[in-house]
C-alpha cells in the first residue's frame, strides 16, 4: 500500500498536505472528477490523517486511540453522510449533521465530515448544509465528493475549494491493476472501456462485466446483420441491467459515428469488435446521431422514473437500430 489511497492520488495528496502544513487549509473541499477514481477513499484517508494523534509525514499512525475509534466506526468527531437506503441525502440527515457541528469536538481535535455523493443532496438538504458552510465552526473540515459537480447548487460549489481528479496514465493504471487484480484479459482494452479508471476495470473483472458485454455485442451484431428480429434480440437481453445494456450500445454507436466521421481506427474504444462497429456505421452518421439521441433520452427516462418499463425501452431502441 502506498501512502495515498491509490498511486494516482499523489499530486492531490501533496497539494492538500502542503495547504494544511502551511496553515492555508480550506474549511470546505470539493473532490470532483469522473467516477471510480477513488475520490471517496481519498476523502476518508484525509479524515483519518487529520483525526490521528500521531500521523507520520504521509498518513495516520493506525495505532492511537483516534485511529482505533475511526477503525471501529465510532469516532465521535467524524461523520460520513451518504444517501443511506434512499436515492437522496435527506434534509433530516443534514439537520442532524448541523446539530452535531455546533457541539464541541469530543476528542479535542478536528471534526471532519465526508459527504458522498454530494450531488445526491436535494435543494432543501443543500440549502441546509449551506448555512454550515457559510459559518463554519472552528477546526471543522467538510469534504464533499462528487462525480457530477454540475448538479450541485452553485452556492455550494463556490463555498468549497475544488480538487480535480483525473484518470491515471495508462502505465500507472496497468501497473496498479497487475498488483491488485486477477488479470486474464487485455488490460489496455479493459481500461479503454472503463474510461481509464483502474478501479472500474477491477470491478468489471470481479462482476463479469466483459461477458455480459460480449452477449450484448453478439446480440446487436445479429440484429444489424438481420439475422434476428428486434423483439427476439430484446428478449435475449431481458435479464441484463437496462442501463448497462444502453451504455454498451452507446459506446458502440459512438465508435461507429467516429468511423463515419473519418476518425483513426486507434481512436475506437471497442477495439475487439471493429467488425460490429463498421457494420453499425453503414447507415451513416445522421442515422447514428438519431440513435444516440434516443439512447440518451432513454437513460434520462430511466433515471427519472421510479419504475421504468425496461423491456419496452430496450425493444424500442433495438427496433430503431434494426432498420
Ligand atoms: Zn493515529
User: What spacing in Å lies between the alpha carbon of 70 and ligand 1's midpoint?
Assistant: 9
How sure is the predictor about 1, in pLDDT bands with cuts at 50, 70 and 90? very low
Domains of the chain are: 7-164 (3.40.50.300), 208-321 (1.20.272.10)
Ligand 1 centroid, distance to 46 Cα (angstroms): 12
User: What is the CA(153)–ligand 1 centre distance, in A?
Assistant: 35
Residue 119: DSSP 8-state: G
Rounded alpha-carbon distances, angstroms, from residue 196 to 170, 211, 234? 7, 19, 30
Q: pLDDT by residue (tens digit) across 179-199?
A: 988 877 788 899 999 999 999
Q: How confident is the model at residue 87 (pLDDT cuts 50, 70, 90)?
A: confident
Q: In the chain, helix, strand, coil percent, each to 5? A: 55, 10, 35
Answer with the residue of higher pLDDT: 249 or 308.
249
Residue 107 alpha carbon to ligand 1 centre in Å: 13
Q: How far is the CA of 54 from the centre of ligand 1 (A)?
A: 5
Share of the chain above pLDDT 70, in %: 99
Q: How many CB atoms lie within 10 A of CB 87?
A: 11
CA of 214 to the centre of ligand 1 (A): 47
Backbone angles phi, psi at 299, to 5 degrees: -60, -45
When mean pLDDT is compared across 182-191, 215-224, 278-287, the lowest value belongs to 182-191
The DSSP annotation for 8-64 comes to GGHHHHHHHHHHHHTT---SEEEEESSSSS-HHHHHHHHHHHHH-SS--SSS--S-S
Greater pLDDT, 301 or 306: 301
φ/ψ of 143, rounded to 5, equals -120, 105
Tell me the CA–centroid distance for residue 19 and ligand 1, in Å: 20
How many angstroms separate the alpha carbon of residue 10 from the centre of ligand 1? 21
- At 69-79, the pLDDT tens digits run 999 999 999 99
Q: How far is the CA of 306 from the centre of ligand 1 (A)?
A: 44
User: How much is the pLDDT for 3?
Assistant: 54
**Mean pLDDT across the stretch 13-40?**
92
* CA 95 to chain centroid: 26
Task: Kindly give the distance from the C-alpha atom of residue 16 to the centroid of ligand 1, in angstroms, as a whole number.
Answer: 19
Q: What are the helix and strand counts (H, E) for the chain?
A: 15, 5
pLDDT of residue 25: 85
pLDDT band (50, 70, 90) for residue 302: confident
- Centre of ligand 1 from the C-alpha of residue 78, in Å: 14
Counting residues of the chain whose pLDDT is more than 90, the rounded percentage is 74
Residue 5 Cα to ligand 1 midpoint, Å, equals 16
Amino acid at each position: 500500500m502506498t501512502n495515498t489511497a491509490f498511486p494516482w492520488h499523489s499530486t492531490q495528496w501533496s497539494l492538500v498536505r502542503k495547504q494544511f502544513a502551511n496553515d492555508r487549509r480550506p474549511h470546505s473541499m470539493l473532490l470532483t472528477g469522473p467516477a471510480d477514481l477513488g475520490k471517496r477513499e481519498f476523502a476518508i484517508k484525509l479524515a483519518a490523517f487529520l483525526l490521528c494523534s500521531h500521523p507520520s509525514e504521509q498518513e495516520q499512525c493506525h495505532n492511537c486511540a483516534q485511529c482505533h475509534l475511526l477503525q471501529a466506526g465510532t469516532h465521535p468527531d467524524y461523520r460520513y453522510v451518504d444517501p443511506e437506503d434512499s436515492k437522496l441525502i435527506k434534509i433530516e440527515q443534514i439537520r442532524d449533521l448541523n446539530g452535531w457541528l455546533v457541539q464541541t469536538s469530543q476528542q479535542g481535535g478536528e471534526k471532519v465530515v465526508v459527504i458522498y455523493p454530494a450531488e445526491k443532496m436535494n435543494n432543501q438538504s443543500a440549502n441546509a448544509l449551506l448555512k454550515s458552510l457559510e459559518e463554519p465552526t472552528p477546526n471543522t473540515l467538510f469534504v464533499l465528493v462528487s462525480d457530477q459537480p454540475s448538479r450541485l447548487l452553485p452556492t455550494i460549489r463556490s463555498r468549497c475549494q475544488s480538487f480535480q481528479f483525473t484518470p491515471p496514465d495508462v502505465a500507472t493504471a496497468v501497473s496498479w491493476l497487475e498488483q491488485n487484480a486477477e488479470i486474464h484479459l487485455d488490460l489496455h482494452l479493459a481500461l479503454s472501456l472503463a474510461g481509464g479508471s483502474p478501479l472500474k476495470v477491477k470491478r468489471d473483472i470481479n462482476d463479469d462485466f466483459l461477458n455480459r458485454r460480449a452477449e450484448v455485442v453478439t446480440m446487436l451484431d445479429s440484429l444489424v446483420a438481420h439475422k434476428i428480429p428486434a423483439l427476439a434480440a430484446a428478449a435475449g437481453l431481458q435479464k441484463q441491467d437496462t442501463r448497462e445494456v444502453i451504455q454498451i450500445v452507446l459506446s458502440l454507436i459512438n465508435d461507429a459515428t467516429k468511423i463515419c466521421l473519418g476518425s483513426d481506427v486507434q481512436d475506437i474504444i471497442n477495439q475487439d469488435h471493429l467488425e460490429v462497429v463498421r457494420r453499425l456505421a453503414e447507415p451513416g452518421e445522421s442515422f447514428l446521431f438519431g440513435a444516440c439521441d434516443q439512447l440518451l433520452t432513454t437513460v434520462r427516462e430511466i433515471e427519472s422514473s421510479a419504475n421504468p418499463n425496461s423491456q419496452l425501452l430496450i425493444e424500442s431502441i433495438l427496433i430503431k437500430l434494426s432498420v
